[in-house]
Structure 1
Amino acid sequence: MKLRTFAFATAMAATAATGAASSVDYAALRDDSRMHEELLGASIAYLIDENCPTIRLRKFRLLNKAFSLRKHAMTLGYSSKEVLAYVESKAEQDRFRAIAEPMLAKRGVKPGDEESYCAVGRAEIKQGSFAGSLLYES
């Protein structure tokens, strides 16, 4: 399944113009600590949601965070359209998955083991981490 970093594409698409940006230098987005931490947290939350049947994404909270992060990205000089292209980029999604999966593995997640994802998800929720703030247990 395709990782949608921050499930952001849907949220961003609500306000972005259609079409993809071309030849945009995304270094400022990649280097920005807030962008990195929140997109990584969202990636972790998405992986937990995708693999744990009892933990779900808080879609309205996710939408609110997505709009806030888009606004932040725009202060870095990017348009809504460019931010959407960045978030939808397969390369960026793969990059965040490559960071998130080993982090989850260090916390005991095993591919194919739903309960291991659920345990980490419950811990994230209890900690009140960024990822945890995007999740709830049903």
Structure 2
Amino acid sequence: MKRMTALVLSLALSAGAAGASAGAGLENERDINEGLLALAVADKIRRECSSIGGKFFKAQSYANGLKSLASARGYSEAEIDAYINDDVEKEKMRQRRNDYFEARGASNLDAESLCVLGRAEIAQKSRIGQLLRAK
């Protein structure tokens, strides 16, 4: 389970990343990046809010689907890995995630606001809500 969480987190934090071999390609894949943002948002909510957990198998499956989609579009394993592991781009994803929170009245520094947002996402059955579960 720890390995799965690490994989989901690394995939989630990488949206917008473009490693040296990836060029500008993957960062222009809007649907893949939106999916990675959903993973990043859900991951932060489940880590900070004690009344909400993550659906790890669903998140793993979704992350694998995004990786398969990138592969089907012609990106090599090396390009995908470079995209996932770029530290500068991970920071850009954190900022996108935090902007998402702020736009919805939440803060990455306020667990209760993340709980409120998480419960709303679950109730709306959004992509993010589908990755979360109320405890």
TM-score > 0.5, shorter chain as reference: yes
Aligned to 1:39: 36
Tell me the residue number matched to 2:52. Answer: 55
- Return closer, same or farther for 1:112/1:95 CA change in 2, 3 Å cut-off: closer
1:7 maps to which of 6, 9, 16: 9
Q: 1:71-94 CA distances to partner (integer Å, 9 max, x unpaired)?
A: 101122222343133123222221
Provide, for residues 53-78 of structure 1, a one-character-per-residue CA deviation record: whole Å limited to 9, x for no partner. Answer: 11122110011111111110112222
Q: Structure 2 length normalisation: TM-score?
A: 0.80
Checking the alignment, whether the CA contact within 8 Å between 2:119 and 2:134 is kept in structure 1 is: yes
For residues 19-98 of structure 1, what are the structure 2 equivalents within 5 Å? 23-98=20-95
Cα distance between partner residues in 2 of 1:5 and 1:69: 13
Residues 117-136 of structure 1: pairs in structure 2 closer than 5 A: 117-136=114-133
How many residues are aligned here? 123
1:85 & 1:57 partners in 2: Cα distance?
A: 26
Given candidates 100, 106, 109, the residue that maps to 1:109 is 106
Q: Which has the larger displacement, 110-119 or 127-136?
A: 110-119
Per the alignment, residue 16 of structure 1 pairs with none
Q: Does the CA contact (< 8 Å) of 1:5 and 1:39 recur in 2?
A: no
The residue aligned with 2:14 is: none
Deviations 1:79-124 (A, max 9, x none): 2343133123222221111111022022121344221110000111
Quickly say closer, same or farther: Cα 1:51–1:77, change in 2 above 3 A. Answer: same
Q: 1:6 to 1:129 in 2, by over 3 A?
A: farther
Q: TM-score, normalised by structure 1?
A: 0.78
SS at match of 1:27: coil
Within 2, Cα distance between the matches of 1:81 and 1:95? 21
RMSD over aligned CA atoms reads: 2.0
The equivalent of 1:15 in structure 2 is none
In structure 1, list runs of 5 or more residues that go unmatched: 10-21
